[in-house]
Structure 1
Amino acid sequence: MHILRFFILTFALAVTAPAFSQTDSLSAVPDSASATRGARVRATPVRKDTTIVPENQTQKAKSKVVKDSARLALEAMPGRAAWGSAMLPGLGQIRNGRWWKVPFIYAGLVSVGLAFEFNNRYYRDILKELQYRELHNQETRDPDYTPYDRSSLISAKDFYRRNRDLSILGFLGVHAINVIDAYVDAKFFRYDITDKLGFNVQPTLMPPLSFASVTPVPAIKFTISL
């Protein structure tokens, strides 16, 4: 009877032992995992929000900010040359070392100025003649205009007035070309211009400037081929 109880107790212990050992192992896993997790948390240092910039980008940023004096002088040349030619025609060309362009600039300005004076003088003279005829019953003030009737004088007046206005636009155009030339010349100071750019000067004949004249006027023609 005692032997039977002994075998039953032994069999019961053999069956329940794996269950107790599995329970102990399962309960131990969370403890070890939590301990390991806590150790990792304590071992991990607190990082600040920092951005690592590559070395090549830092050098590029420094090169953009810091420029040597020679580069700054080259970048300022176009603006200085343009402002100089705007205030005094030819000054920008002299700063660029293109002093040989100055005579051409002033020749153009003087030519346009003479054309303005010529057309304005005849315009005012014919206008006075027309006003005099209106007030004095078509009598002639200037003997030079005796062969011309009223309609011919009006056409001549409009002709000289139009040429006078074109002379003003021509003066502004020559001045603008002077400024643009100084700016472009300074802008391309470091570049080499090939032989494809040509500049030709040749004599030519212009239509008569005077209303009563039929003789062509000699002039100089400038041609730029690109």
Structure 2
Amino acid sequence: MLKFKGLISFSLFVLCFVHLASAQVKDTLLKPIDTIKTTPIRVVRIDSPKKTIDTTKAKYVNPGKVAARKAVLKSLIIPGWGQLYNNQLLNEKLNAKGEKTGHFWQKTYTLSKVGIIYAGFTLLTLSYIDNDKGYKTFLKEAQFRALNKGQTENKSLDRYDDTNVLNNLAIFKRNRQIVIFSYFAVYAVNVVDAYVAARLNYFNIDDSLSMKITPSLMSNPNSMYGFNATPALKVSLRF
């Protein structure tokens, strides 16, 4: 009897152990695998597409700026060269329009500026030579009188006293400085004129551009004597 009870107890123990083992196996089979912890995440970099340059579209070049730059450079090297370059541009522009012999006065005006520039330099040079000669004459006389009281070296300057000699010396010296400044002024005007003329050669003026000035009336609510209209001029621009 005791053996029979022990056999039954052993059988129950084995059944419980088998049942626990099978439950453990099912639990491990049904449990999902955590792929986030086990598998590292790879970051994929998506490069933006490179911008392609449209080579078919040509870059705009302002011909007026190019011509003005060349005219200024030529005028800086040799005064008047920029004006000759502008005359060449004018000839090419007229030839392109089929006007080979037109605009005589416009060409003459362009070339005459070269003569004016060199005429100005010539007059300034003559003025500088004259003032420099006078300055040296009075300087020599002033130095002689400073060393020899009451005596005169140049007999043609006897009519001048010591004060007048010094005053004339200062005048001739100032005139020389003014002439030198005028040289730079004429040179600068030569450059500016070449630049402006080169830009105007490419300034578009055609029949579609017009200006009209007509008389008109303008309302004036603050007018005295009860008049609400004021005479005026109306300017109309058409492009």
Partner of 2:117: 105
- Structure 2: segments with no counterpart, 5+ residues: 1-43, 88-109, 210-239
Q: Using the alignment, how far apart are the partners of 1:154 and 1:164 within structure 2? A: 16
Does residue 90 (structure 1) correspond to residue 90 (structure 2)? The answer is no
Superposed CA offset, 1:37-96 (max 9, x none): xxxxxxxxx99454698xxxx77x964x634xxx46543211111111111110000000
Report matched runs for 1:152-171 at 5 Å: 152-171=164-183
1:112–1:62 CA distance, 2 compared to 1 (3 A)? farther
The 5 A counterparts of 1:1-226 are 48-50=46-48, 63=57, 66-67=59-60, 71=61, 74-97=64-87, 98-191=110-203
TM-score (norm 1): 0.55
Gaps of 5+ in 1: 1-45, 195-226
Query: What amino acid sits opposite 2:182 in the alignment?
Result: G
* Change in 2 beyond 3 A, CA 1:62/1:122: farther
Larger RCO (CA under 8 A, 6+ residues apart): 2
CA distances 1:121-157 after superposition (whole Å, capped 9, x unpaired)? 1011100011111222231111111011000111111
CA change 1:187–1:160 in 2 (3 A) is same
CA distance in 2, matches of 1:122, 1:91: 34
Q: What amino acid sits opposite 1:135 in the alignment?
A: L
User: Residue type of the partner of 1:93?
Assistant: Q
| Aligned-partner Cα distance in 1 for 2:56–2:183 | 47
Q: Hey, what's the Cα distance between the residues in 2 that align with 1:131 and 1:79?
A: 51
Over 3 Å off, 4+ runs? 46-53, 71-75
CA distance in 1, matches of 2:150, 2:119: 42
User: Which one has a larger percent helix, Structure 1 or Structure 2?
Assistant: 1
1:73 and 1:190 map into 2 onto residues whose CA distance is 7
Is 138-147 or 71-80 further displaced after alignment?
Answer: 71-80
Q: Is the 8 A contact 2:63 2:202 kept in 1?
A: no
Secondary structure of 1:140's match?
Answer: coil
How far 1:110 sits from its partner (Å)? 1.1
Offset at residue 109 of structure 1 (A): 1.0
Distance 2:176 2:204 in 1: 41
Percent identity between the two aligned chains: 30
What's the RMSD between the two structures over aligned residues? 2.8
SS in 1 for 2:203: coil
Amino acid at match of 2:68: P
